[in-house]
């Protein structure tokens, strides 16, 4: 009897357990259409007049095809109801107002035109709106809100996304949906999201180097050893001395791909056109980025296993052949396949966008400049770039070591402001922070610079914070000199261990400080192309955070060398702090003092005659 009852009880328990497991499985696996679709992209503010190329992207995040008949999408002003459309698993459907001007044509996606009732229009407002996806039962499946949208319903929690930037897309980071702004990032149309990853490496060879001391030597050595492929993403490239090893690589059969910014500030130099022509005419592939914001990265991938990353453009002052004059910049060579592949994915993603549209002003102007027999004399160019006097004495040599470390790639616009990258690096500092920058601003529009704010907070925690900024370009307000003055005022008023300086370029013998580096506690170092101003976080920028004391200490020594060469008191800073009223007061006091001295002298002379 007991055995029978036990068997009966076991059977009942097994049956109940099976029902519960089945229920849980059905609940968790998206077998129905509801909960299987997500909004993944919204392009509300385009670059085309009238914005006919606005679009919305949905993805089937389910394990099977989904028929979205009678699903709808609305901005609470117009509503589009889907006909019978079957979306395969993992596939996307693009909803565009006019597919003829669709911003990202792709044969592997479904494109639908937002056809509405006569007299209605599905147009996303620039200042703010909501995008609401409902299933075939009218239930809210997903929501995105931005700007001044007053939406306060299901599918979204917390603050809306900020107002859209012209030519940029709201892009979902991943398919986990928290219904908050943290799910989203702003990217160029057609770009993929590259999340920050913690990459741990062992027994990996790295070479640390700086400009102007030894960057040319370090780069040329790597280029000379390229055997199969060379991928270059550069904001600017006009150094003929670096063209030579690339042409040699092409003649050895190395595949060369060059991605340049198509509209650099100030326009493209003839030297850069010549270099692009030479690489293309010798079998290389040359493309030009023309996103809404700049392609400002400076990195190279060699043979799918080596990454070279710098703060410097490949110019005569960025990577100088003559080491006695140039910019201060940091660079590193990392010989590791996993890290190289991360940046390879990034490069290919950016390359496909540059390649997709060749009808740009840049391409047309470049083609006019190619094939005309342009000849450059690198020696005369070098003489033009280097002024008389003020030469730099090289101090630092490339340093190669094999060690263990961790790397976090830092990209803009993808992850520069994400948790786990630069802000966390500053917030987790315990002892000190050393910063050397080409460009920074106290305010990004109406908001404080988050990096600067984090530095101030670090000093309030007891960290010693030193910031060295370039002093060459100080025109306009909200520039480096204002940052220096503001930080030093904060330090004095709160008695903080915080000091900011403008670089003394004459004492250093540098053309400018073009670095964008950061060292924390002698343990972590940031090497990047990212300046600390409002538009830079939307550029394509590339960098790495490396956690290794031997690597970080190399750049710390460079920082302290530059810091110690600059005086503690900056005359320009004090001049900026003198208001016109103060200057008038100084003049009056000076005149009064002179008058009193004059009267005293006359009195003395009369008395002793």
Domain 412-576 - what CATH class?
Answer: alpha beta
Q: Hey, what are 287's tokens?
A: 């493309």
| Strand ranges (E), 88-157 | 92-96, 110-113, 128-134, 140-147
Which segments of the chain belong to CATH 2.60.40.1260? 37-185
Q: Is the peptide bond before 413 cis (omega within 30 degrees of 0)?
A: yes
> Dihedrals φ, ψ of 178, to 5°?
-100, 0
For residue 7, the model assigns a pLDDT of 41
Distance separating alpha carbons of residues 386 and 391, to the nearest angstrom: 9
For residue 364, the model assigns a pLDDT of 41
Distance separating alpha carbons of residues 248 and 245, to the nearest angstrom: 5
Distance separating alpha carbons of residues 255 and 453, to the nearest angstrom: 45
The residues, ordered by sequence, that sit 6+ positions from 233 with a Cβ below 8 Å of its Cβ are 259, 295, 297, 298, 299, 300, 347, 350, 540, 542
Find the Cα–Cα–Cα–Cα dihedral 187, 191, 195, 197, rounded to 10°: -140
Which segments of the chain belong to CATH 3.30.870.10? 199-385, 412-576
Q: Tokens 């990096």 correspond to what residue?
A: 451
DSSP 529: S
For residue 365, the model assigns a pLDDT of 42
Does CATH number 3.30.870.10 belong to domain 199-385? Answer: yes
The residues, ordered by sequence, that sit 6+ positions from 447 with a Cβ below 8 Å of its Cβ are none
Q: Hey, what are 278's tokens?
A: 């030479």
For residue 594, the model assigns a pLDDT of 67
Hey, is 181 helix, strand or coil?
A: helix
CATH superfamily of 37-185: Lamin Tail domain (2.60.40.1260)
For residue 607, the model assigns a pLDDT of 57
Q: Is the peptide bond before 302 cis (omega within 30 degrees of 0)?
A: no
For residue 346, the model assigns a pLDDT of 98
Q: For residue range 412-460, what is the model confidence (pLDDT) as tens digits? A: 999 999 989 999 999 999 999 999 999 999 999 999 999 999 999 999 9
CA distances from 355 to 262, 297, 347, 387 (A): 12, 17, 12, 39
Q: Hey, what are 355's tokens?
A: 């390649």
For residue 17, the model assigns a pLDDT of 42
**3-class DSSP string for 374-408:** CCCCHHHHHHHHCCCCCCCCCCCCCEEEEEEEEEE
**In the chain, which stretches have pLDDT less than 70?**
1-35, 99-121, 355-390, 568-588, 590, 592, 594-595, 598-599, 601-609
CA-closest candidate to residue 374, choices 223, 529, 243, 548: 243
């Amino acid at each position: 009897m007991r055995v029978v009852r036990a068997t009966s009880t076991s059977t009942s328990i097994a049956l109940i357990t099976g029902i519960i497991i089945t229920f849980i499985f059905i609940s968790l696996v998206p077998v129905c259409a509801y909960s299987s679709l997500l909004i993944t992209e919204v392009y509300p503010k385009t670059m085309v007049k009238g914005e006919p190329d606005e679009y919305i992207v949905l993805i089937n995040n389910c394990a099977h095809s989904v028929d979205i008949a009678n699903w709808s999408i609305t901005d609470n002003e117009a509503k589009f109801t889907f006909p019978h459309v079957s979306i395969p698993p993992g596939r996307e459907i693009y909803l565009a107002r006019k597919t003829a001007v669709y911003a990202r044509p792709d044969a592997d996606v479904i494109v639908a035109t937002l056809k509405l009732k006569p007299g209605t229009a599905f147009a996303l407002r620039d200042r703010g709106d909501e995008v609401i996806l409902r299933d075939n039962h009218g239930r809210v499946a997903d929501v995105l809100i931005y700007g001044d949208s007053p939406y306060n319903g299901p599918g979204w929690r917390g603050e809306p996304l900020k107002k859209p930037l012209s030519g940029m897309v709201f892009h979902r980071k991943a398919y986990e949906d928290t219904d908050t702004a943290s799910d989203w990032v702003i990217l160029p149309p057609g770009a993929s999201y590259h999340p920050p990853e913690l990459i741990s490496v062992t027994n990996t060879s790295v070479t640390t180097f700086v400009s102007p001391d030894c960057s040319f030597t370090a780069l040329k050595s790597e280029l000379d050893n390229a055997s199969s492929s060379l991928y270059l993403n550069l904001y600017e490239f006009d150094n003929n001395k670096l063209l030579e090893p690339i042409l040699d690589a092409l003649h050895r059969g190395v595949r060369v791909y060059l991605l340049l910014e198509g509209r650099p500030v100030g326009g493209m130099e003839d030297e850069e056109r010549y270099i692009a022509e030479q690489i293309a005419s010798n079998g290389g592939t040359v493309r030009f980025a023309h996103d809404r914001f700049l392609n400002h990265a400076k990195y190279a991938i060699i043979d799918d296993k080596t990454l070279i990353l710098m703060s410097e453009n490949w110019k005569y002052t960025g990577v100088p052949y003559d080491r006695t004059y140039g910019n201060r910049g940091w660079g590193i060579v990392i010989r590791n396949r996993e890290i190289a592949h991360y940046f390879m994915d990034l490069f290919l993603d950016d390359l496909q966008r540059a390649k997709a549209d060749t009808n740009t002003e840049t391409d047309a102007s470049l083609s006019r400049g190619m094939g005309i027999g342009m000849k450059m004399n690198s020696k005369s160019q070098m003489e033009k770039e280097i002024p008389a006097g003020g030469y730099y004495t090289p101090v630092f040599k490339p340093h190669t070591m094999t060690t263990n470390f961790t790397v976090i790639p830092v990209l803009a616009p993808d992850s520069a402001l994400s948790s786990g990258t630069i802000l966390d690096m500053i917030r987790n500092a315990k002892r000190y922070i050393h910063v050397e920058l080409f460009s920074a601003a106290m305010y990004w529009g109406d908001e404080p610079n988050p990096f600067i704010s984090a530095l101030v907070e670090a000093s309030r925690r007891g960290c010693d914070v030193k910031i060295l900024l370039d002093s060459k370009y100080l025109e306009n307000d909200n520039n480096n000199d204002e940052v220096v003055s503001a930080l030093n005022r904060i330090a004095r008023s709160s008695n903080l261990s915080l000091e900011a300086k403008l670089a003394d370029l004459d004492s250093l013998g540098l053309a400018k400080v073009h670095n964008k580096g950061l060292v924390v506690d002698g343990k972590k170092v940031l090497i990047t192309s990212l300046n600390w101003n409002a538009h830079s976080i939307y550029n394509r920028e590339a960098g790495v955070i490396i956690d290794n004391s031997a690597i970080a200490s190399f750049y710390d020594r460079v920082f302290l060398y530059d810091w110690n060469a600059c005086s503690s008191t900056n005359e320009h800073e004090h001049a900026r702090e003198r208001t016109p009223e103060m200057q008038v007061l100084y003049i009056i006091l000076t005149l009064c003092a002179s008058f009193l001295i004059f009267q005293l002298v006359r009195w003395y002379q009369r008395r002793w005659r």
